[in-house]
């Protein structure tokens, strides 16, 4: 199994981002927890956690209320 992130902007369009690959969901989630500020600064508003091509979930990277 491999875990990756996909990224979207505020319009739901795909945006380029780091192409990190992780061996576990926990490692991927830990990484996004450390990296989300830089992603938002680059225009990413949503991250999708993907396992072997299947979207596990999508989450907003914006603080609550934004």
pLDDT at residue 66 in the model: 62
Residue 65 in any domain: the answer is: no
**pLDDT tens for each residue of 44-64:** 999 999 999 999 999 999 987
- Considering its fold, how many domains does the chain have in total? 1
Structure confidence at residue 65 (pLDDT): 72
Average pLDDT over residues 31-45: 96
Give the number of residues written for the chain: 66
Domain range for 49 is 3-60
Say if 66 falls within a structural domain.
Answer: no
Tokens of 58: 């999508």
């Amino acid at each position: 199994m491999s875990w990756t992130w996909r990224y979207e902007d505020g319009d739901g369009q795909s945006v380029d981002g780091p192409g990190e690959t992780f061996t576990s969901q926990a490692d991927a989630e830990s990484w996004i927890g450390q990296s989300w500020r830089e992603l938002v600064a680059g225009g990413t508003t949503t991250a999708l956690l993907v396992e072997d091509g299947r979207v596990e979930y999508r989450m907003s990277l914006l603080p609550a209320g934004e």
